[in-house]
Amino acid sequence: MTRKRRSFSPEFKLEAAQLVVDQGYTIREAAEAMNVSKTTLENWIRQLKSERSGKTPASKALTPEQKRIQELEKQLRKVEQEKEIFKKGYCSLDVRLAQQFQIIKRLEGSFPAKTLCDTFEVHRSSYRYWRNRPGRLSSKELRTRHLIKTAHRLSNGSAGARSIAKIVTTMGEDLSRYRASRRMKLLGLVSSQLPKHHYRKAEQAHIAVPNVLGRCFDVKRPNQVWVGDITYVWAGKRWAYLAVVMDLYARKPVGWSLSLSPDSVLTKSALEMAYESRKQPNELLFHSDQGCQYTSIQFRQVLWRYQIKQSLSRKGNCWDNSPMERFFRSLKTEWIPETGYRSFTEAKEQITNYIVGYYSRYRPHSKNGGLSPNDKEIMYWKAYKTVAKNTCPLHKVS
């Protein structure tokens, strides 16, 4: 019987290498957490360090920067040709310098000013001088901005554009929420309150997938039933979304992914990480709620490719996926600050530390009789090997 060769995605390799390079785990700890050999992990670490030093690998890159470099190398010749065609066509027109500056200003929101100036063959210093020439504000505009700053100060920095528009209007100056929002950006004023989170509702009926799990959360072995769900975390100035896949046997998170978009790419990434880290198990059931991220064609194609059977909770019934709800509650009450994280990078690092460093290795779980998820699985595999050894059939003597 030939041994099946394992394959890993660039995202999985990057996640594993970052545990050692960025988060201080030893190679042995990271290799055990991700279920890969030390030699394989050392190769990924060397590749990550090499890419961060500026070297583009011959194989698929791990870091987004080197991936982008590989893509740009393919597109460079085409871009240079298009640029020359544009220059030759534009130079044949009679356009004055002021008109060129106006075109550059309109395009500056989409392209760097330096690139635009080089394309139009004008001096960047000349464009800066034209753009920064002093403009005079009307007395009405000055009064409006003064009232907006006053309203923001009165609210102790908590008022948003809608509230500020109402306050300024009561002061005798008509102001819409949209005008208030634009002027708040110009003045550098922001609301200190965290915005409420809202998921978009699906506009079409979900696919017909039964609730196969049926709240049978006590399973007999690892890699028998996985559950998944998505939650949201405040990261800097916007919401980030966390997808987690958990093995029900020891309540161990086996795959996770953090993104700024709650889409199928997020849930696919978490499932792919779980499938690769658990050595591609067979006869597996995956259970989740009826979110569009789990009922999409893209996600179901991954389940079909991995030969994983799907199970969905009943509509609007969170108890059908209560282990995942309980995990997210523990994460938010035990680890995540009340005001969220300062950046996406900090959120990703801290959540990974919770899952790998604390929850899986040290946190006692009542379902496991006070053992951590890692210790619970270690006990199972030791017992499994002992039983397998003692029940091995004896060879018949001829």
Number of domains in the chain: 2
Most confident of 82-91, 116-125, 248-257: 248-257
Among the ranges given (88-102, 126-140, 151-165), the one the predictor scored with the smallest mean pLDDT: 88-102
Is 104 a member of any domain? no
- pLDDT value at position 205? 46
- pLDDT value at position 166? 84
**Strands 238-247 and 225-235, how do they pair?**
antiparallel
Q: Are residues 229 and 378 in the same domain?
A: yes
Gap between the terminal Cα atoms of the chain:
25
**285-323 residue pLDDT tens:** 999 999 999 999 999 999 999 999 999 998 878 889 999
Among the ranges given (11-20, 43-52, 59-68), the one the predictor scored with the smallest mean pLDDT: 59-68
- pLDDT value at position 251? 95
Q: Are residues 235 and 380 in the same domain?
A: yes
Q: Are residues 156 and 250 in the same domain?
A: no
Average pLDDT over residues 70-91: 66
Give the confidence band of 192 by pLDDT, cuts at 50, 70, 90: low
- pLDDT value at position 369? 86
Secondary structure class of 35 (helix, strand, coil): coil
Name the token pair of 55.
Answer: 């070297």
Is 220 a member of any domain? no
- pLDDT value at position 77? 64
Is 389 a member of any domain? no
Is the pLDDT assigned to residue 89 strictly greater than 70?
A: no
**Strands 238-247 and 284-288, how do they pair?**
unpaired
**Which one is predicted more confidently, 198 or 219?**
219
- Contact indicator for 141, 182 with CB cutoff of 8 Å: no
Q: Are residues 172 and 254 in the same domain?
A: no
Taken as a whole, the chain contains a residue count of: 398
Give the confidence band of 199 by pLDDT, cuts at 50, 70, 90: low
Is 368 a member of any domain? yes
**Which one is predicted more confidently, 16 or 305?**
305
380 to each of 118, 247, 284, 348, 360, how far by Cα in Å?
A: 65, 13, 18, 30, 15
Is the pLDDT assigned to residue 336 strictly greater than 70?
A: yes
Q: Are residues 313 and 370 in the same domain?
A: yes
Buried b (16+ CB within 10 A) or exposed e, 266-280: bbbbbbbbbbbbbee
Average pLDDT over residues 238-265: 95
Longest dimension (CA), the chain: 108
- pLDDT value at position 20? 87
Is the pLDDT assigned to residue 163 strictly greater than 70?
A: yes
Q: What's the burial of 177, exposed, middle or buried (CB within 10 Å: 0-12/13-18/19+)?
A: middle
Most confident of 50-59, 128-137, 349-358: 349-358
Q: Are residues 169 and 251 in the same domain?
A: no
Return the CATH number at 270. Answer: 3.30.420.10
- pLDDT value at position 327? 94
- Contact indicator for 228, 324 with CB cutoff of 8 Å: yes
Measured distance CA(303)–CA(30) in Å, rounded: 27
Name the token pair of 277.
Answer: 């880290």
Q: Are residues 279 and 154 in the same domain?
A: no
Measured distance CA(144)–CA(356) in Å, rounded: 52
**Which one is predicted more confidently, 64 or 81?**
64
Average pLDDT over residues 251-279: 95
pTM, rounded to two decimals:
0.58
Average pLDDT along the chain:
84
Q: Are residues 236 and 337 in the same domain?
A: yes
Is 271 a member of any domain? yes
Is 20 a member of any domain? no
Average pLDDT over residues 104-126: 82
Q: Are residues 173 and 235 in the same domain?
A: no
Average pLDDT over residues 235-263: 95
Q: Are residues 235 and 372 in the same domain?
A: yes
For 304, what's the count of Cα atoms within 13 Å in the CB-facing half-sphere?
Answer: 7
**Strands 308-312 and 252-259, how do they pair?**
unpaired
Give the confidence band of 194 by pLDDT, cuts at 50, 70, 90: low
Name the token pair of 261.
Answer: 């978009």
Average pLDDT over residues 346-370: 89
Is 272 a member of any domain? yes
Average pLDDT over residues 112-138: 80
Among the ranges given (42-56, 168-182, 204-218, 311-325), the one the predictor scored with the smallest mean pLDDT: 204-218
Continuous H helices in the chain: 10-21, 27-34, 38-52, 64-91, 97-107, 113-120, 124-131, 139-154, 161-170, 177-187, 264-277, 292-295, 297-306, 322-334, 344-352, 373-390
Give the list of residues 6+ apart from residue 271 with CB closer than 8 angstroms, or none.
228, 245, 255, 286, 299, 302, 303, 306
Q: Are residues 348 and 229 in the same domain?
A: yes
Is the pLDDT assigned to residue 398 strictly greater than 50?
A: no
Give the list of residues 6+ apart from residue 160 with CB closer than 8 angstroms, or none.
191, 193
**Which structural domain, as residue segments, surrounds residue 171?**
139-187
Is 309 a member of any domain? yes
Q: Residue 119: left (phi > 0), alpha (psi -120 to 50), or beta? A: alpha
Q: Are residues 232 and 380 in the same domain?
A: yes
